[in-house]
Structure 1
Amino acid sequence: MNGSQEIFNKIAEALLIDYTSVYYVNAVTNEYVWYSEDEQYHSLCIAQQGADFFADLVKDADSVIYEEDKHIFMRDMTKENLLAQMEKGSRQSIDYRLMINGKPVYHTVRLIRGPREGDEYFILGVINIDEEVRRRQKEQELEKERRIYNQIADSLAEHYDTIYYVDIETDDYFEVSSSDVYKSLEIKPSGGDFFGESARNLKRVIYPEDAERTLPLFTKQGIIENLKKSKTFTLTYRLMVQGNVMNVRCSQIWANDRKHLILCIENINNEVSTQQELKESKRKSMTYGQIAESLASHYDVIYYIDSSNDSYTGFTINSIFGSLYIKEEGGDFFAEAWKNSEQIIYAEDKDRIQNILGKDYLISALEDKKQFVCDYRMVLDGKMTYNRMTIMWASDRVHFIIGVQNIDEEIKKEKEQVTALNRANELARRDDLTGIRNKTAYHELEEQVQESIDEGAENLDFAIVVCDINGLKHVNDTQGHKAGDEYIRSACKIICNIFTHSPVFRIGGDEFVVFIEKDSYNDRHSLLERLHSQVMENLKKKSGPVIAAGMAYFERSSDRKVSDVFDRADTKMYENKSRLKELSSLNVSEISDTGDVLMPIPKERSIILDRLFEALSVISDSMFIFICDLKHDYSRWSKIGVEYFGMPSEYMYRAGDIWVEKIHPDDRATYQQSMNALFAGEALSHNMQYRAQRPDGEYDVCTCRGIVLRDTDGTPDYFCGSIMNHNIHSHVDRLTGLRNQYGFFEDVQWALDRKKPGRIVLIGISRFSEINEIYGYDFGNSVLQAVGRYLFESAGNTGMVYRLDGTKFAIMTKIPAEEIERRYHEFRTAFRAGTSVDDKYVILDLNAGFINVDNFNVDHRTVYACLNFAYGESKQRRQGDIVEFRNDLNDENKHRLEKLHVIRASIMKNYEGFYLLYQPVVDSQTEKLVGAEALLRWRSDEYGIVPPDHFIPLLEKDPLFPELGEWIIRTALTDAKKILADEPDFMINVNLSYTQLEKTDFTDMVGRILDETGYPPEHLCFEITERCRLLDIELLKNIAVKLRSRGVKIALDDFGTGFSSISIVKNLPLNYIKIDRSFVRRIEEDDKDRKLIKSFAVVASTFGAEVCVEGIETEGMKAILQKYSVHSFQGYYYAKPLSFEEFLTWKEDHRPKK
């Protein structure tokens, strides 16, 4: 070995002190030598050598390098990479894991030296760094643990009011953290005698009743004893903190070194309160559970239904234990209920129950009721059972509770009781001879009716017919009492057969009474005429009972007792009785069917009379037609005229004498003169206007026209003509034949004047213009006729139907509100299903509102305004569901109808009580006054100050409202003009109603007021309110363009609420957009509201409009909104609405806020 080689070897051996292996690699040929240390002699030895270091490296690495490190190791250990690192002047160091005895051991290979000039070798050293890596990993894990422990400790500390760390050997302590509440106890945060100071502090602040129990547990010995069995001991006690009791929990814990104590003290007031509430809740729950199960025992099954998704659970009661258990569950109660009802509900009840078991119906039915109950019948295995269903909201108002119980026994007992009671009552109140009701029954009826009279019942209409049998004594005397009894029975049979629908009473030996009401009341005259005709027939035949009868009806203005009506009927009966006695002595040919003594009309004359009448009827145009055979004084009248004026019959003898009694006494003389002149040939025709009396005592104005037809001898033969009732004709809609709007107003006022309670329904057809556009106006008229006819037939005798303006109909009725809603649902369902008109199939949808008329201190216009409001709510907000106008009486909404009536009267009294307030509008940045909004108010001594939202929505459809709107504009401009002199940039804002905009002359009216007041139009801004958006967008656009052409500004009020605001902004030429106060109420704490305002501002700027924000109430609101593209502010932060005088004072005092 030469000298340099020896030196090299020594150097290599020295390197082996740091390296476990050294590789000597030829950079050109890749030949290499692997040197390792001989541990026995601590000398250099060759472990391996070869011809290609990098090839052998690849081969060996695959078996000895840790799998996850192979890729990186082989990438970095290429010759190219090593040379590149040497050129950079950096020492390459590669960490990897070597698999030794099946375990990965960390090593690093370092490039000790690379090829140099005259030297072509790499020198690589390998170091075992496993111990160092493991040590670093351990330190990192310990550091991570420390961070985690610190975070846990900090987090735990936040849950405690204080934490103490105590040296158990020296008693030294310090406070880790402390809450503000605990600091108020003034306990030292550190010291050298924890246990002594704890005893002193506890005695000072502990709740007296807890001292004896708690203090021993805070001594050193006490704590050590507490912790003998476990690492942690917990106790609770109470402290007095600033005069209040604070419940605390103290956790005593050994530290891990068992040389230190950790005491954690926690305020548990909320926990104690929660436990107490939970305890009480459990007690209540147990009580409620017992109550629920007791109540549930009355039902066979109870359903608990989620109204949000229709899922349900059915419960039944356990017959042994008396507790509820689940019987069934499902996903769609209403679908399954409908399906089951098809199979098991009794046919007559099916439609009603299926309607009730609709979710919408239940929600509506329970809107103002605690529960809804209905009885129905089921058919199971061919057997009918009676059931009762009780429906109510659960307390959460999300779930329905439906209880179903079998009531067969209840129905059975009711039927038995009713049957037995009816049988007993009937026996006690039946006449033994005739089987009809007796005098006792009549007196009971008399008492009931008298009670209604005493209570002032408004819908009481009845008549009494008193009958007496002529000749009964003669029959008894000549034929015996049995024949007399049969005579009575025959008379009774005649009376009962004629008055079929009215109760008949035998109140004496030969006396009967008939009580007529309801449907028969309107037919009372014709019924009595039938009785007279039968009696006349018996009289002429000399066979059958002769019955005298007299009738009287109840007159509210004069009758105070039922006996008043009876006495008048009895008097008329005796008059008739006397007349019948006279007639019984005459020949048959001398007696007419009505009891008149005359020559009967020949049959051929009767036929001519009918033919003339029918000819006249064809051209009558709804007038009352009459024709009289003058030679026999025998007449025929229109049936409708007979019924309307209460004439005895369609065919009458001496009709002229009967009719003249109907004519107003002041008109009779003139009438008689006209008729005498006509029959004397002095006048060619009769044409006269007079007043004729209706059965209710009221008079109608009529025009009667007639002519006399003479025979060949010039003798008067027939008198024929027509009677036009102006009260009917001026109040009849020619299209439908129903009473029109004038008739409606008259009837409403008539009911109000007479204090007749009832309900009025307003029904209209939606989107009717589409029908006119598609099919034409003639077809549209046919549809209106069909709807009117349907409503008329449906109302029947329970209401009066009217055709109002456009497509609206009204119904005056006395049926209950529930029945109104039910019938409307039927109407709507029928029209939605489609109806055939003129061979075309049309589908219609309706809107409806109704009002209960029970306040009579108002007029018909006020009632109609309220009715229109309810109708509008149905159309605009309730998708056609019927809406009731509620006249609730409470502190906030007193006498709503009366109040509205007074307000309407104020408009007609030169706007008495109306005044304007002005709320300032300021620049958002400078806070300088830039305008004001005019706000309407009304006040009176009786009602105080009434805000506009209490009457504007109700008045908007009233004809008086545009006049009020004009007064508002004129007053606002007059006041604003006084401000403009000092504030040249001042803008007055006036709200518009949609009914103002509907008037075709609105823009002309605005121009006229501007000219008259001399107010500059560029300083006027009209605010389009929410209800204005109901109008057609093109109409709004045309009005806005006309106003802007004069310089008037347009603002959209309440942007973001109600109807589609974006559509309005896009289509109208707006100057301003006013953002509603609801969007800024929570802007200080809600980031979403701030983003909304920012978005609104962007929308406004996109369409060239400025933004005003309403509802600014705090400094914080103002500061936030000043950051956005908002131009002006309005709200209580600056000023509430002010009177004009207050506004002027505020203007002078106002200074921009800094």
Structure 2
Amino acid sequence: MNESYRLGEQSIIAHLQRLANGASTTELDVAALPPELRAIGEQLQKTLAILQQERELLEHGAYIDSLTNLGNRGGLDRHVDQLWRKGTPFTCAYIDIDRLKHCNDKFGHAEGNRYILSICRALTETMEHDELLFRIGGDEFVLISPTTNEAELEQRLEWTRANLIEATSDGKAPMIASFSFGCSRVDPLAGDTRRQMTKDADRKMYRYKLMYRVQQPEEGDALQRPITEQPPPCNDRVFQAISMSSETRYPFIINLDTGESQWSVNAVRDFDLPSQHPYNSLDIWLARVHPEDRDNVRAELDMVVNGTWHFHCMQYRVMNTAGKYALCDCTGYRLDGTDTEPNMYVGIVTNRSLADTTDSVTGLGDIHALVNAIGEMRRVARNAGLIAIKIDEIAQVNARFGFDAGDRVLAESAACLMDCSRGKGRLFRSTGPMFVALFDELDPEETDAVADEIERFLGSPVLLGSFEYQPPLRVATLHLDTVDRQPVSILNELNALIKEAPQVPGTKLD
């Protein structure tokens, strides 16, 4: 055996070994083989090409649905496995075609396949570039989105469904095309499980189907328009009249049996709810609750839903449309259903971060607004300077001149305080005759300078009838390198400092 032949054999053996080890792109250089081995090399290349095609067909069948050319259940499992290994959060939508069996039984499987493909086409056209759609059963699809949140995906699917219904409700199509869906957002790194994801999305999908399934025209009957919305749970005009009576209070009604709900226009505006009648609104609301408060709120609401509790009252933080957390008082009652009436949950949410936190006498923020402001600074871990100002002898002014006079003194003091702070800080009437100025952009020396100016100018004379009255006052300053305590603890320290502060004397009332 000559050396050229031996080297050719070794080249063929090495090529086969690379293929056995999983290489899919290696090629045999047939032209480099000796003439007596080239025919063998060419035949080997042809055989390997056939085997590669068969392997690709097998993989295609393992992961691709033959009718729609989408990924199948195996493809979905492989894709979710990849997301789970990366720890990537994503939203999944379980989608079920409405009345596919009815279509197959009445119009045949060929029409049923066309029905499936029409749903597939509508879903594909509405997808974002980073989303994937899988057909995991005869009438079941799953859409995976790594970027879209739950509410956004629900809105997009609702829009797609409405367009499908409208396009096929003219009597020309054999079926009114429609589907039901349920969405669930999961985060593997947060401890979510795949079983939890599947159960949550599947449950929402079936509840949606119960609420919104389209009625198909029966043979011989006049075409029925699709039923896409149930009537609201109460008179809509009455509800809106109640809901618009206050900018800070948001009534709501939730049907616990179907998930249907009704919220005020103000709640939709201030908390970015998807609509006034969102489906599964408890989950939508919980997604907006501050992460530190969410578990406690979920536990209480679960007890209301399952009938363990009939009354819910909590104060917690909810993200508003601006992306900031608002302190809210949430009160609700469960109304048990009867044979003809559903189980209902009705209540009201009060936004403590709006007008209810304004002091009516001075126009400054009140104690609730002050607590919110300190709490916000605590969450962003910023330094703070606080100046407490107490107007002494307001009780004596009220007793001698009346409460209107006392309010005038406080209002004049608030106006002077605004002039002294020159817009550098936020001002609050804490309690009674005490004010607090909160600064987060001044260093301690600048804060002390503002406090000195307040001492000099805040006690300006106020005319009470013909009597010129200059209120005595006390000023105390507190510097914090970082706000790392509860607001109540900080306010208690301020109260202690103001009690020890020397009085800047004013007019004697004796």
- TM-score between the two structures when normalised by the length of structure 2: 0.41
Larger RCO: Structure 1 or Structure 2 (Cα < 8 Å, ≥ 6 residues apart)? 2
Q: TM-score, normalised by structure 1?
A: 0.21
